[in-house]
Structure 1
Amino acid sequence: MSDRVVPPAARQRRRPTKQGVVLSAELIVATALRLIEEHGAEALSVRRLGRALGADPSSLYRYFRHTDDLMLAIADELIGGNLRSWRVTGDWVADLRDLGLRIHAGALAHPRAAMLSAHRVTGRTHEIQAVESMLGVLRGAGFPDPEAVRIYHAFVDQALAFGALDSACTALPRAAREAEAEVWRTTYARLPAATHPHIAATSRHLVATMRTSSYPAALDLLLTAARTRLAELRARTGEARPH
């Protein structure tokens, strides 16, 4: 796509495409997301999208100015998918843990798109809602604003980074994934204690855990640290109050 701009009021198409569907931004995003998972980043071309939609490629400019505009919309849709069934319960640790696991699972459901979009800032509806909601959870828990932002930053970066990391593994051919997982059993578990005492002592744990993502454990460590930090802040505030 080029940088051609179509006014928002003109970004509508009411006539069906050759396949009998009416174009919309939502349909284009859904189709692009499917094509990315099937073909990778090269799927984001007006020609391929137009062919998949049964539409004149130029009609896509009614909805998106260029490829990057569409990529940001895809990234925002991934965020929206994580939020749709997430509910704040008032237990800030449980709520953030639930959201973190949803972000990670959403990335694994769309691994190629997750790798392309993890580093993007969309400034769009779903991302804004996510930032507002997460900061609301942290401020509601009692974190001062600088701490709320610091923990939000660490939380979202951790979730996105693990999502991209594990998505890259998921995107590998199955044979390659299985071969790499087997290295823990065939190589590390057989290293002798005489030369590698620490690996030998922990090898059964390595074999048991290294085949899967460490994100749940990393998330729990982050939330435990955040809980400890909140307790420290409350204790400090209590000590500063006159008795």
Structure 2
Amino acid sequence: MAKRVVPEAGRRRRRPTKQGQVLTHRLIVETALRMLREHGAAGLTARRLGLALGADASTVYRYFRGMDDLILAIADELFGHAMADWRSTGDWRADLRDLGLRIHHAYQAHPQAAVLTASRVTGRPNEVASDETILGVLRGAGFPDADAVRIYHAFIDQSLAFAILDAATLALPRAAREADEEVWRDTYARLPRDTHPHIAATAPLLVARMNDSAYPTALDMLLSSASAQLKRPAPGE
């Protein structure tokens, strides 16, 4: 049977931790994010989280039904980071580009958390607010509902897919990440033209680009496709 979660008001009446802090849902989530950043997914346990908070491990379960519930809360917090202070410009394409880059940046700021959470669907307030905003931008631009949902689907999946891909690179040990980056210069750039003419012809460009995220380019391609669709006349017009 799921553990009972104590309402927020009830939690705040509890005495401070050994560190003098009164525990809150947000404090636990932010501490978990810090632990993921410093120790990775293997380092996030209820016991270690309790130690970091100066509280007993069982205290965490007054706020969350289990560690998976905490993971979903972390996922929602990242959407909250992405949407913080966002304002519409009235230009649908500029707004969607900004939203996509914000989501990607929020996950890259917490790569260990991104790998753990980007594939999850939380249905929680920040995620729901993000989805409402994206769909609102698309519908406000004049896309029919079926097209708005189709583009939204591609937009959010692209954002999260690149978030996982790029976060996985950032989450690698530094030596492994640097070794991977060197492959483009030490292997691809040295391939002979007679056996690999296309790689040899583009080697300087590959070396310059391939260690950077392709997300901004992919995002612009998706938005260009959507923009072209919006400008096409509907059947019968």
Note whether the superposition's TM-score is higher than 0.5. Answer: yes
CA offsets, 1:11-39, max 9 Å, x none? 51331111100010010101111111111
Counterpart Cα distance in 2 of 1:146 and 1:207: 41
Matches within 5 A, 1:124-163: 124-163=124-163
CA offsets, 1:180-202, max 9 Å, x none? 11211111112112111111111
Matches within 5 A, 1:71-150: 71-150=71-150
CA offsets, 1:82-138, max 9 Å, x none? 000221111011011111111111111100000100011111110110010000000
Q: How far off its partner does 1:69 sit?
A: 0.8
Give secondary structure in 2 for the equivalent of 1:12: helix
* Alignment partner of 1:30 is 2:60: no
- The aligned length equals 236
Decide whether aligned partners of structure 1 residues 107 and 9 sit closer, same or farther in structure 2, where only a CA change above 3 A counts.
Answer: closer
- Specify every segment of 5 or more residues in structure 2 that has no aligned partner in the other structure, as ranges: none
RMSD: 1.5
Which residue of 1 is the match for residue 229 of structure 2?
229
Q: Is the 8 A contact 1:19 1:53 kept in 2?
A: yes
Which residue of 2 is the match for residue 13 of structure 1?
12
* Alignment partner of 1:205 is 2:209: no
Q: How far off its partner does 1:9 sit?
A: 6.5
AA matched with 2:34: R
More deviation, 60-69/38-47:
38-47
Q: How far off its partner does 1:211 sit?
A: 1.5
Q: Is the 8 A contact 1:135 1:152 kept in 2?
A: yes
Counterpart Cα distance in 2 of 1:224 and 1:10: 48
Q: Is the 8 A contact 2:8 2:24 kept in 1?
A: no
Decide whether aligned partners of structure 1 residues 111 and 211 sit closer, same or farther in structure 2, where only a CA change above 3 A counts.
Answer: same
Q: How far off its partner does 1:64 sit?
A: 0.7
Which residue of 2 is the match for residue 218 of structure 1?
218
Decide whether aligned partners of structure 1 residues 57 and 196 sit closer, same or farther in structure 2, where only a CA change above 3 A counts.
Answer: same
Q: How far off its partner does 1:10 sit?
A: 7.0
CA offsets, 1:191-218, max 9 Å, x none? 1121111111111111111121111111
Give secondary structure in 1 for the equivalent of 2:97: helix
Matches within 5 A, 1:165-180: 165-180=165-180
Q: Aligned residues: percent identity?
A: 64
Q: Is the 8 A contact 2:35 2:43 kept in 1?
A: yes
Give secondary structure in 2 for the equivalent of 1:168: helix
Decide whether aligned partners of structure 1 residues 9 and 92 sit closer, same or farther in structure 2, where only a CA change above 3 A counts.
Answer: closer
AA matched with 1:5: R
Q: Is the 8 A contact 1:155 1:222 kept in 2?
A: yes
Decide whether aligned partners of structure 1 residues 173 and 44 sit closer, same or farther in structure 2, where only a CA change above 3 A counts.
Answer: closer
Q: Is the 8 A contact 1:32 1:43 kept in 2?
A: no
CA offsets, 1:25-55, max 9 Å, x none? 0101011111111112233322111111111
Decide whether aligned partners of structure 1 residues 19 and 176 sit closer, same or farther in structure 2, where only a CA change above 3 A counts.
Answer: same
Matches within 5 A, 1:191-202: 191-202=191-202
Counterpart Cα distance in 2 of 1:75 and 1:9: 20
Which residue of 1 is the match for residue 3 of structure 2?
4
